[in-house]
Amino acid sequence: MTIYIDADACPVIRIAESIARKHGIPVVLLCDTSHRLTSDYSTVKVIGAGADAVDLALINLCRRGDIVITQDYGVAALALGKGAGAIHQSGMLYTDDNIDRLLMERHLAKKARRDGKHHLKGPAKRTEEDDRHFAESFEQLIIQAEKAPE
């Protein structure tokens, strides 16, 4: 098992690394050339610039039984399709039961923005409670993945 993190602007890298280290699971951070990441635990892969370069590289690397941390619903859907686990930085687990709804909501929101009918504010400021929720959900996902048959 490997944990892959869509690391561009990901606020939970250090939390994920800490939990992964405790379980002895390798972590790969993927970012584009406009980000500078360093880690004393994870392998950092800098992917060339391009709209979806990091996303495509992550999906090409991940395999059944791996875990992907991403806020991109499309990346999560592709990871689930490969048999990997997927989690949002908020701690929400992506599942076969919720991914279609999430993708549809994303599509409708994008369509509304394009039509000028809807203006969304950015995300709320991250809190310690958000970090706790992510850590708990991530730990549970790892435990489930470790128990799953190969």
Q: Quick check: helix, strand or coil at residue 87?
A: strand
- Residue showing tokens 């686990």: 85
The residue range of the domain holding 104 is 3-147
- Please tell me the distance from the alpha carbon of residue 147 to that of residue 150, in angstroms, as a whole number: 9
- Please tell me the distance from the alpha carbon of residue 116 to that of residue 132, in angstroms, as a whole number: 36
pLDDT band at 150 (very low <50, low <70, confident <90, very high): low
Number of domains in the chain: 1
Residue 104: predicted pLDDT: 79
Residue 1: predicted pLDDT: 96
State the pairing for strand pair 93-94/85-87: antiparallel
Q: What is the mean pLDDT of residues 70-83?
A: 94
- CA dist 29 to 71, 81, 119, 149, Å? 14, 21, 32, 26
Q: What is the mean pLDDT of residues 3-20?
A: 95
Residue 9: predicted pLDDT: 83
> Exposure string (b/e) for 84-111, b if CB count within 10 Å is 16 or more?
bbbbbbebbbbeeeebeebeeeeeeeee
- Are 27 and 138 a contacting pair, CB within 8 Å? no
Residue 118: predicted pLDDT: 62
Q: What is the pLDDT of residues 82-138, one digit of tens each?
A: 999 999 999 999 998 888 777 777 667 776 667 776 666 666 789 999 999 999 999
Handedness of CA 47, 51, 54, 58 (dihedral sign): negative
- Are 27 and 42 a contacting pair, CB within 8 Å? yes
Q: What is the pLDDT of residues 30-72, one digit of tens each?
A: 999 888 899 999 999 999 877 789 999 999 999 999 999 999 9
Residue 121: predicted pLDDT: 66
Residue 23 has pLDDT above 90, yes or no: yes
Q: How far apart are the first and last CA of the chain?
A: 10
CATH number at residue 41: 3.40.50
